[in-house]
Amino acid sequence: MREVFRSAGRSLSINRRFHITPTLTTVIGAFVSITAALVLLVQASTSEKVVRDLGGELINVGLGALDQAFSDQIEAVEEASKFTVAALNTGSILIDHPQEVADYLFGALSSMEHVSFVIVADRNGNFIQIDRGAGDGILIPQFVPVTDKTHALANLIQSSATKTTAFWTEPQYYSARQHTYVAHVQPVLDEGRYEGLVIMAMSVQRLSEITDEISTNLVTVFMINPDSNDVIAHPELGRVFDQLSPVNPLIAIENVPDSFLANFDLTEEVDPAGYGIGEGHELRFGFDEHNDKRFVILDNDQQGLSGLPVAIGAHFPAAILEQPLDQLTDSIVIGVALLGLSLVGAGLLAHRIGQPIRRAATGARAVAKLDLDAVKELPRSSVRELDDLASGFNSMVSGLDAFRRYVPKALVLKLLKEGRADAPPEEREVAVLFTDIAGFTSASEGMSATETAAFVNHHLSLLGAEIRMNGGTIDKYIGDSVMAFWGAPDHLDNPAEHAARAAVGMARAIHADNQKRRSEGKSPVRIRVGLHLGPLVVGDIGAPERVNYTVIGDTVNAAARLESLGKEIDPDAEVVILVSEEVAKNLDEDFHMQTIGAQMVKGKAEALQVVRLIVSDTVQ
């Protein structure tokens, strides 16, 4: 009784089903309509001009802050240089006391982490150098005499002796250091007379560290040469420092490890005034590797203090300009909340409906390949259309599963691919194979019907696996015998070779199975195999209401006669494989063959040239 009520409950549950179209239209349509109306209302209350002006002001302030952050670092270098010159001129430190100068430079360098090295040279070209090593460690000072012409900076010191004002050098690659530097040079003058100079240099690495410090998750800051657009500094530039050389002291913009900036030439220029950005800036836009829009801005007025050849740039998501989130917080919160409610409702329903549809789609793809073992049964549903889909789909798969046992899979796939339902007869060069168990009638007399069926099914499974593995089509099972062919429905360049490999595989499979049978105290199985190659008619043969995809012609008869001939050639062999000369001529030296010679077979007026395939690792 309990099972009756349970069954009735299931039936009632299945009968209470909903139609998919009105359900989706009502629920999703209502959510989307409400959301769209409210979003439009919120959007209408926001001024596009205000949005753009606020975004532009944000960029102006941000870029100004970047300029100031960089300028502070540069100004610190220049001020330190001036202070050092003043100390030398006033005698606070004496240029002809190297150790005193070195002690002073230690203190100056320790307070400026962005400076790579500092040099003080006298009027004769002798100089003292303090380097900052890796990990911000300060190295032992170098005292380099003027006679050392091999020093990396000897030329710079010599060429600067005629300067009367401070200046920044162009980026230069020093081979001895294997790196590129920009240096601030400050002459030391006493009443207009040249007494020496002070050099403070920053490496591309140090400059890149500055850009890394002032960049954020949204904004990437970089420095470029305003004349060549070569990159001087970038947070990721350290990954390509090995590309620096005397010929290329800077990294070309297309080689920078920044996928968006590397495509700078693909960006398009826009009018910065339209976004409320001040004059003197170049604004461009492009798309990153995720196809997200980004802006890049260059401060063309920024030439650095004292003419440092550097322009600051930054790139950032377009949303910063086109939709400043900080000014639209209330609108976005409302819109996102409403949209979230819509998505939750739509998502729950879509998941409920989409799950069986996805399963059906996955199953349909497997059905198209006749891979029915990979198809999972679709569950019943309370939605009428989905329940009908599940029932119909499951019935279709069950029918196909039964159907595929009677029709060659390769044929069905070929017909599906070509979009037709029949295979008209045609003539082809086909290899035909027959097998038979020697002495099966007498061996089966001691078996029950169930045992006989189990034995035959196991035997045919072994042979069928080799046929399918080598691209053959099983035509039919005739009791304990198999008829198969190669070259249809799929064309094969050498059907004889595929068929011969299947025959050899059968011999090995029977040998392995016989070893197991002997260990179980059972008699071994002996089989005969015949194989012939020739022209045949292949296709749908039969009455309109019942056809078979098969082959007909003299080649079939010859293959059957070769199989029967095996009992005369070697009646005691575990496996005897006889092939025609037509087959043997298409086999390579991998096959071991024994010529039998001309043999008369039943139904043939002329003798057949017979060859035996030898499988060395089985009992012949």
**Rounded Cα gap, residues 272 and 385, in angstroms:** 56
pLDDT given at position 133: 64
- Whether the pLDDT of residue 415 is over 70: the answer is no
- Cβ-count burial of 528 within 10 angstroms (0-12 exposed, 13-18 middle, 19+ buried)? buried
3 state SS for 204-257: HHHHHHHHHHHCCCCCEEEEECCCCCCEEECCCHHHHHHHCCCCCCCECHHHCC
- 8 Å CB contact between 206 and 114: yes
Q: Which of 395-399, 432-436, 491-495 has the highest mean pLDDT?
A: 432-436
* Backbone angles phi and psi of 146, in degrees to 5: -60, -25
Mean pLDDT of 36-53: 56
Q: At what angle do helices 98-110 and 48-90 cross, to 10 degrees?
A: 160
- Bridge partners (DSSP) of residue 482 are 435, 477
For tokens 């899979």, what's the residue?
409
- Whether the pLDDT of residue 516 is over 90: the answer is yes
Q: Could you report the per-residue pLDDT of 534-552, keeping only the tens digit for each?
A: 998 887 776 766 667 788 8
What distance lies between CA 357 and its chain's CA centroid? 27
Sign, Cα dihedral of 363, 369, 374, 377: positive
- Amino acid found at 135: G
The CA–CA distances, whole Å, from 339 to 23, 336, 346, 432 equal 20, 5, 10, 67
pLDDT given at position 73: 74
**DSSP per position, 377-403:** PPPP-SBHHHHHHHHHHHHHHHHHHHH
Least confident residue range of 273-282, 313-322, 404-413: 404-413
- DSSP label of 148: -
**Rounded Cα gap, residues 120 and 168, in angstroms:** 16
* pLDDT, greater one: 14 or 102: 102
pLDDT given at position 135: 47
- 8 Å CB contact between 495 and 486: yes
pLDDT band at 132, cuts 50/70/90? confident
pLDDT given at position 29: 61
Least confident residue range of 66-70, 184-188, 263-267, 512-516: 66-70
Q: Could you report the per-residue pLDDT of 462-488, keeping only the tens digit for each?
A: 999 999 899 898 888 888 899 999 988
Q: Could you report the per-residue pLDDT of 570-593, keeping only the tens digit for each?
A: 888 899 999 999 999 999 988 999
- 8 Å CB contact between 531 and 580: yes
For residue 36, what are the contacts with CB-CB under 8 A and spacing of at least 6?
A: none
- Whether the pLDDT of residue 77 is over 90: the answer is no
Q: Which residues of 301-311 are buried (b: 16+ CB within 10 A; e: fewer)?
A: ebebbbebbbb
**Rounded Cα gap, residues 588 and 498, in angstroms:** 12
**Rounded Cα gap, residues 429 and 494, in angstroms:** 9
**DSSP per position, 315-336:** EEETHHHHS-GGGSHHHHHHHH
pLDDT given at position 14: 47
* pLDDT, greater one: 396 or 189: 189
- Cβ-count burial of 49 within 10 angstroms (0-12 exposed, 13-18 middle, 19+ buried)? exposed
- Whether the pLDDT of residue 158 is over 60: the answer is yes
pLDDT given at position 1: 39
CB count in 10 Å sphere of residue 284: 18
- Whether the pLDDT of residue 395 is over 80: the answer is no
Q: Could you report the per-residue pLDDT of 216-226, keeping only the tens digit for each?
A: 888 898 988 87
From the list 610, 605, 582, the residue with the least C-alpha distance to 595 is 610
pLDDT band at 497, cuts 50/70/90? very high
pLDDT band at 15, cuts 50/70/90? low
pLDDT band at 145, cuts 50/70/90? confident
pLDDT given at position 181: 86
- Whether the pLDDT of residue 93 is over 50: the answer is yes
Nearest 5°: CA angle at 425, between 421 and 426? 120
* pLDDT, greater one: 172 or 69: 172
* Helix (H) or strand (E) run with residue 10 in it: helix 2-15
Q: Could you report the per-residue pLDDT of 198-237, keeping only the tens digit for each?
A: 888 888 888 888 888 888 888 898 988 878 889 988 999 9
pLDDT band at 177, cuts 50/70/90? confident
List, in order of start, the domains of the chain with CATH numbers: 17-42+331-401 (no CATH), 69-203 (3.30.450.20), 206-324 (3.30.450), 412-614 (3.30.70.1230)
For tokens 């377009």, what's the residue?
318
Mean pLDDT of 178-194: 84
pLDDT given at position 527: 92
Sign, Cα dihedral of 464, 466, 469, 472: negative
pLDDT given at position 277: 75
- Amino acid found at 29: G
- 8 Å CB contact between 201 and 182: yes
β 575-580/527-543 pair status: parallel
Rg of the chain over all Cα atoms, to the nearest angstrom? 44
pLDDT given at position 60: 62
- DSSP label of 341: H
Tokens of 381: 């549903």
* pLDDT, greater one: 256 or 164: 256
pLDDT given at position 274: 74
Tokens of 561: 């006669």
Sign, Cα dihedral of 326, 327, 330, 334: negative
Mean residue pLDDT of the chain comes to: 77
**Rounded Cα gap, residues 599 and 251, in angstroms:** 83
Question: What percentage of the chain has pLDDT greater than the value 70?
Answer: 69
pLDDT given at position 583: 92
- 8 Å CB contact between 166 and 81: yes
**Rounded Cα gap, residues 431 and 580, in angstroms:** 10
For residue 303, what are the contacts with CB-CB under 8 A and spacing of at least 6?
A: 226, 309, 310, 311
**Rounded Cα gap, residues 544 and 281, in angstroms:** 82
**Rounded Cα gap, residues 308 and 155, in angstroms:** 20
- DSSP label of 18: B
Least confident residue range of 141-145, 419-423, 569-573, 578-582: 419-423
- DSSP label of 134: G
Q: Given its phi and psi angles, is residue 483 left (phi above 0), alpha (psi -120 to 50 degrees) or beta?
A: beta
Nearest 5°: CA angle at 205, between 60 and 146? 120
pLDDT given at position 353: 67
Question: What percentage of the chain has pLDDT greater than the value 90?
Answer: 17
- Whether cis (ω within 30° of 0) applies to the bond prior to 257 is no
* pLDDT, greater one: 598 or 340: 598
For residue 275, what are the contacts with CB-CB under 8 A and spacing of at least 6?
A: 52, 55, 56, 59, 283, 321
- Whether the pLDDT of residue 245 is over 70: the answer is yes
Tokens of 14: 């299945």
For tokens 């019907």, what's the residue?
449
